[in-house]
Structure 1
Amino acid sequence: MSSGVRTEPLPGDPPVSIPGGPYSVIVLLRGYSVPQGAGGAQRADGSVTLVLPTAWKPWGARGEDPAVPDTQAALEQAGSGPVLVDTGGPWARDALLAALAAHGVAPDSVTLVVGTHGHSDHVGSLGLFPRAALLVSHDFCLPGGLYLAHGLSETRPLRLGPGLEVWATPGHAGRGDVSVAVAGTALGTVVVAGDVFEREHDGNTWWQLSEDPVAQERSRQRVLAAADVVVPGHGGPFRVLKEPVADSVY
């Protein structure tokens, strides 16, 4: 019997809430990808996830952005309120706004939007959040377009708060992909992984869509080693169970 992992779906339809402290994770919209016809077309949209500080109050006022921030202060300020990981495509605008409102979050209350990568089905509604800081792939900017250097790499995550980090997880869209890791939830560490995983049991199909399969395989193994729950780009969240199994799922 070899050592590996197995996975199982996290039950429930979106929104799927995972309480925690100091952050809770809410999968607002479940991504999907469905073949259309015989020519390789896909009808798709990306998952959208909300990371909420437990101290934040619904419809609460946002804090003031630092006037002349250093990068770490700006990152921590951005992580102090509601953090949205991906926005879905522009066609999901109304569903996204309704899902946020159901949790007491107005677009102007969002302090940070993380785009795991630059594809339109993951960052197609960035324009709904003009007051938020943006971290899209490896670009970090404050409202108004002030870009800050940060040094994110596979060996150097960005810290947004206690147990809340952005990881460099390259592969799917090239070298700039990122994931968000949230420790301390009721289910352990949740990693919102964008398209590092298309879905649970995506087998080798992700290779066909990957710009750098070698780097993506490295990112997948890193996520599986750290995560108790993974939110993939185009499917429901799933648990990662680390125990001896006959054959590793991945």
Structure 2
Amino acid sequence: MSGGAAKPVLQPGADGPRIAVYSCYFGAHEPFNAAATGSDSPAYDRFVFTDHASLPSPARLIRLEDAGEGPAILSRLPKLCPHLFFQGYDWVVYLDNNARFLLDPARIIRRVAKEHPDTPAGRYLFRHRRRDCAWDEADECLRLGYMTPDQHAQVTAHFTAQALPRHAGLYVNTCLVQRMGCARTDALNAAWYDSLTSLTRRDQVMLPWLLASHACPHRVLGAKIRSWVEWPIFSPKARARFRRKQIAA
């Protein structure tokens, strides 16, 4: 997989928490949301991956240099590939900048462990609340202008060639929970990131096929994501207004 320069390696202290909570803020697409990494808690370490020199955040800033990927792709590297950055952590929890936790991240991990007492390494995913099909998600991305007709044709041709069944599941990537330590999940993460440049930038579309093709261990959470996370917190109008101000400045 690609990904630019050497990656910083983040580790907990000797007696520190073994949960990492992180978000990403690249470019100037929307206002920065410091709440995306939770609260000032001793139960977890907080990180923001960014291309900005500074941000008004109590979390530790991890600056990544753009080697030509552009902010949209670069932001997906830590989002999809935490294994490249985090070592020694048992759990990592990602949240989009355009969201905030309704449930403390440490409590989220306790809820996950209660639902899945064996807590195997791998992904723990939220079901999409309206769709259960990567094919339908690709159609929705086309309708909303998130894919061009050519990109949509390429993705659906790939699904056809790989015999991806319809209604095989669809998951929300606003919040991603991973128990670290699974090599197959790390391989899926790398393939997931690579698919952004080979097929589509819409990572939610590709995950069902990647889970199936990599026979990747994962668990689907019983909770609805909206009971744990508020999303979105910035309306499309607020984001557009912010971008106009950035251009004017």
Please tell me the TM-score bracket, short chain as reference.
under 0.3
- The answer to which structure has the higher helix fraction is 2
Q: Normalising by structure 1, report the TM-score.
A: 0.26
